[in-house]
């Protein structure tokens, strides 16, 4: 791309320069032959420069960061942020401020870039309304220039005037406290230099009305026409083979702007339309964002998929799944991540991603969609195909359970059932009921099935699950069989279990699933305690369960219940799923805040079979902006006794872990 741009710059363009002279109304030849001797020597800007050369820098000739020392942007004729009037060290051009005793350079940490410094009038200055101010001179070839003067005023509101070439171009401009205000004017330079004066003639004796000055920008004004737009199109071209390296969203904006620009370049437009098209195309081109390829886990950082979109799979689960390859039709193994799609905030459907290396993920789309209205459920083809044979009562249930306005769909987990060759998703299905408006009133477990792991998943039902046996203390007898934060686990013998918070999140349960994984193994009325289900740690108030098996031991990692706020993790061990679970405490090492490194567990899985590496998946919820919740993935360590440890690392890779 850079090579292409350089080639463009070197190519030059005679036609555009001719146009510039014609528009300027005083072509180079007239300048050189007509006036006094010294004027003759002043060249015309477009005789020296080409538009191609200046497009990349937006025709910027000077950008003075007043009283600044570090420039974030430099114009063509300068090599420093600001200077006292004199020859520029690199370009030899004469430019800078005319020093005055009353000028005070002030740095401002609250402003960025050119707003981080400014000139002020020193306290106690004897102010002369017409004279006191800031004076700059800039050597410039003859031509037309657009001058922008920026004011970032930390004081009470006041007014300022800007003179260009001795004539007042901006009069009594109000500059408000800590609001960046710009004055923009166009002027013609014919004598080889441009004078800029900033002052406040109305200051009187009130020092609270002293002018300030943050920056001055001078741009050569080109002729905005179809030829110039064509040059922009050439310089801002993305070769087809490079298009795939950019994120879909930025690429789309770029393509739209390019299409608009192409249309205008072929037709007829006004100069302001050409200018707008040139600027918008350049902006879209500069905003093109390259898709990131990951080779490490960057813990808690923005994580994007292979199209550059933020990964949306919160409260999720990762596993290795047999899936059919889209191009070959062969069954292949893929890493599969399902989770809550929170792109629209709190409510949303279930999304899946696939990967070959656990670092880079491809979105498989929304595998179970929300529904916007009862009508949509009955009319839209997508829902018709899934629910065309459902009764009215079943449709009511689908609507209540998947409504984009009221349903709460959290912590989805997926299993592949070999017997039925179906993929089954269980999720925390919640929302208001006929008796309560609370988002967490339904407190039930939802089930959906599909022939493909990328859906669409057909919602079957949502259920209340097992209840506290009569001979045990129920911590929430007023609402039986509740099921909220949940997870799934398949044992070595193929038996699947659902692990979930019940009894108003006070007690965890583990319940056996049927052979199809679509419901409990035994109906709650007939379920036998210890065989079909168990209650864990009654009253301990644990949620976010993540159950896994390693080296003869079952582990259950959990969090406390503090809404979206993180809290201290605790894990348990047992010799069988429905056996006795022993509290082993917090696995985190060096977690001074005792917040599981600011995360909440959602899954632990075997990420590297060869080296026996288990990976902790946690959510760092952002309660103010759930879309921007982050993922905390860490390697899990075990000692010789099988005790589990979590240590924080900002960035890590499976490859770099020592086995
Ligand atoms: C904690 C749970 O673990 C999350 O899934 C979610 O339900 C939040 N509570 C809501 O506050």
The answer on pLDDT for 12 being more than 70 is no
Element (H, E) at 111: none
Question: Backbone phi, then psi, for 495, in 5-degree steps?
Answer: -75, 130
pLDDT at 659: 56
| Residue 619 CB–ligand 1 contact under 6 Å | no
Mean pLDDT of the chain, nearest integer? 93
Average pLDDT over residues 570-586: 98
The answer on pLDDT for 14 being more than 90 is no
The answer on pLDDT for 1 being more than 70 is no
pLDDT tens-digit readout, 409-429: 999 999 999 999 999 999 999
Average pLDDT over residues 482-504: 98
Cα–Cα distance for residue pair 646/658, rounded to 1 Å? 15
| Residue 564 CB–ligand 1 contact under 6 Å | yes
72 compared with 638, residue with greater pLDDT:
638
**Which stretches does DSSP call E strand in 402-472?**
408-417, 422-430, 444-450, 458-463
- All residues at 6 or more sequence positions from 247 whose CB lies less than 8 Å from its CB, including other chains: 288, 289, 290, 291, 304, 307, 308, 309
| Residue 17 CB–ligand 1 contact under 6 Å | no
Strands in 350-355's sheet, in edge-to-edge order, are 314-324, 331-340, 350-355, 362-368
State in Å: Cα 543 to ligand 1 middle: 8
Nearest CA to ligand 1 atom 10: 563
pLDDT tens-digit readout, 75-134: 999 999 999 999 999 999 999 999 999 999 999 998 888 899 999 999 999 999 999 999
Element (H, E) at 258: helix 248-266
The answer on pLDDT for 2 being more than 90 is no
pLDDT at 75: 97
pLDDT tens-digit readout, 372-415: 999 999 999 999 999 999 999 999 999 999 999 999 999 999 99
Do residues 412 and 315 lie in contact, with contact meaning Cβ atoms separated by under 8 Å?
yes
Residue 241 is given by DSSP the state G
Q: Is 621 exposed, middle or buried (0-12, 13-18, 19+ CB in 10 A)?
A: buried
Cα–Cα distance for residue pair 592/617, rounded to 1 Å? 20
The answer on pLDDT for 348 being more than 60 is yes
pLDDT at 61: 98
State in Å: Cα 562 to ligand 1 middle: 8
| Residue 139 CB–ligand 1 contact under 6 Å | no
pLDDT at 111: 86
pLDDT at 240: 86
| Residue 349 CB–ligand 1 contact under 6 Å | no
| Residue spans of alpha helices (H) in 25-98 | 28-34, 37-40, 45-48, 51-54
In the structure, what pLDDT confidence band is assigned to residue 41 with cuts at 50, 70 and 90? confident
The answer on pLDDT for 23 being more than 50 is no
Element (H, E) at 316: strand 314-324
| Residue 542 CB–ligand 1 contact under 6 Å | no
Nearest CA to ligand 1 atom 1: 563
Do residues 146 and 61 lie in contact, with contact meaning Cβ atoms separated by under 8 Å?
no
Do residues 150 and 173 lie in contact, with contact meaning Cβ atoms separated by under 8 Å?
no
pLDDT at 24: 43
pLDDT tens-digit readout, 557-567: 999 999 999 99
The 3-class SS string of 11-28 reads HCCHHHHHHHHHHHCCCH
Ligand 1: atom nearest CA of 559 is: 3
| Residue 382 CB–ligand 1 contact under 6 Å | no
Percent of the chain residues topping a pLDDT of 70: 94
The answer on pLDDT for 38 being more than 80 is no
State in Å: Cα 563 to ligand 1 middle: 5
Q: What pTM, to 2 d.p., does this model score?
A: 0.75
Question: Backbone phi, then psi, for 653, in 5-degree steps?
Answer: -140, 155
Cα–Cα distance for residue pair 179/176, rounded to 1 Å? 6
Cα–Cα distance for residue pair 364/491, rounded to 1 Å? 27
The answer on pLDDT for 72 being more than 80 is yes
pLDDT at 139: 98
Cα–Cα distance for residue pair 497/582, rounded to 1 Å? 19
The tally of CA atoms less than 13 A away on the side-chain side of residue 234 is 20
The answer on pLDDT for 22 being more than 50 is no
State in Å: Cα 424 to ligand 1 middle: 22
pLDDT at 549: 98
3-state SS class at 510: strand
- Nearest alpha carbon to residue 511 among 493, 532, 530: 532
| Residue spans of alpha helices (H) in 403-542 | none
Element (H, E) at 626: none
Average pLDDT over residues 569-578: 98
| Residue 412 CB–ligand 1 contact under 6 Å | no
Ligand 1: atom nearest CA of 543 is: 3
Nearest CA to ligand 1 atom 9: 563
Percent of the chain residues topping a pLDDT of 90: 89
Do residues 318 and 333 lie in contact, with contact meaning Cβ atoms separated by under 8 Å?
no
Average pLDDT over residues 297-305: 97
Tell me the two tokens of residue 558. Answer: 């959990």
The answer on pLDDT for 40 being more than 70 is no
Nearest CA to ligand 1 atom 11: 563
Between 3-17, 254-268, 307-321, the lowest mean confidence (pLDDT) is in: 3-17
């Amino acid at each position: 791309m850079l090579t292409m741009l350089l080639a463009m710059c070197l190519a030059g363009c005679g036609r555009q320069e001719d146009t510039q002279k014609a528009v300027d109304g005083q072509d180079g030849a007239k300048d050189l032959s007509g006036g006094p001797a010294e004027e003759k020597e002043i060249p015309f800007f477009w005789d020296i420069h080409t538009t191609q050369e200046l497009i990349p820098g937006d025709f910027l000739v000077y950008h003075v960061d007043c009283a600044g020392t570090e420039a974030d942007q430099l114009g063509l004729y300068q090599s420093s942020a600001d200077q006292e009037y004199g020859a520029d060290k690199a370009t030899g051009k004469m430019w800078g401020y005319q020093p005055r005793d009353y000028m005070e350079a002030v740095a401002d940490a609250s402003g960025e870039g050119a707003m981080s410094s400014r000139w002020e009038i020193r306290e106690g200055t004897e102010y002369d309304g017409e004279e006191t101010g800031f004076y700059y001179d800039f050597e410039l070839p003859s031509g037309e220039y657009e001058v922008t003067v920026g004011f970032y005023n930390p004081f009470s509101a006041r007014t300022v005037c800007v003179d260009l070439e001795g004539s007042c171009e901006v009069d009594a401009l109000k500059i408000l406290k800590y609001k960046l205000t710009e004055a923009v004017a166009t002027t013609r330079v014919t004598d080889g230099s441009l004078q800029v004066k900033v002052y406040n003639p109305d200051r009187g004796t009130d020092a609270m009305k002293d002018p300030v000055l943050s920056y001055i920008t001078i741009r050569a004004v080109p002729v905005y026409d179809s030829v110039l737009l064509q040059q922009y199109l050439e310089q801002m071209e993305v070769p087809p083979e490079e298009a795939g390296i950019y994120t879909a969203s930025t690429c789309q904006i770029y393509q739209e702007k390019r299409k608009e620009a192409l249309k205008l370049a072929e037709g007829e437009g006004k100069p302001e339309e050409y200018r707008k098209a040139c600027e918008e195309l350049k902006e879209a081109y500069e905003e093109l964002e390259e898709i990131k390829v990951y080779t490490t886990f960057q813990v808690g950082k923005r994580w994007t998929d292979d199209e550059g979109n933020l990964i949306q799979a919160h409260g999720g689960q990762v596993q290795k799944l047999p899936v059919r390859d889209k191009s070959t039709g062969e069954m292949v193994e893929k890493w599969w991540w399902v989770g809550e799609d929170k792109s629209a905030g709190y409510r949303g459907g279930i999304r899946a991603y696939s990967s070959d290396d656990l670092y880079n993920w491809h979105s498989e789309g929304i595998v179970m969609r929300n529904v916007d209205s009862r009508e949509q459920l009955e009319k839209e083809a997508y829902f018709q195909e899934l629910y065309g044979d459902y009764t009215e009562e079943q449709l009511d249930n689908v609507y209540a359970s998947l409504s984009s306005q009221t349903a709460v769909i959290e912590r989805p987990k997926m299993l592949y059932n070999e017997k039925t060759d179906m993929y089954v998703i269980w999720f925390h299905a919640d929302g208001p009921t006929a008796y309560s408006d609370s988002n967490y009133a339904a407190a039930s477990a939802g089930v959906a099935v599909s022939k493909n792991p990328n859906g669409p998943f057909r919602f079957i039902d949502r259920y209340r699950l097992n209840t506290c046996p009569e001979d045990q203390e129920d911590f929430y007898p007023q609402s039986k069989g509740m099921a909220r934060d949940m997870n799934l686990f398949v044992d070595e013998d193929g038996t699947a279990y659902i692990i979930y918070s019940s009894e108003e999140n006070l007690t965890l349960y583990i319940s056996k699933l049927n052979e199809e994984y679509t419901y409990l193994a035994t109906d709650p009325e007939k379920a036998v305690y210890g065989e079909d289900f168990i209650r864990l740690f009654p009253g301990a108030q644990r949620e976010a369960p993540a159950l896994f098996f390693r080296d003869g031991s079952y582990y259950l990692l959990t969090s406390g219940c503090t809404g979206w706020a993180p809290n201290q993790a605790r894990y348990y061990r047992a010799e069988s799923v429905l056996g006795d679970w022993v509290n082993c405490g917090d696995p985190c090492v060096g977690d001074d805040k005792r917040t599981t490194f600011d995360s909440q567990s959602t899954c632990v899985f075997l990420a590297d079979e060869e080296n026996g590496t288990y990976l902790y998946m946690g959510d760092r919820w952002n309660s103010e902006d759930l879309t921007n919740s982050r993922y905390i993935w860490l390697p899990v360590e075990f000692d010789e006794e099988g005790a589990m440890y979590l240590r924080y690392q900002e960035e890590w890779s499976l490859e770099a872990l020592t086995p």
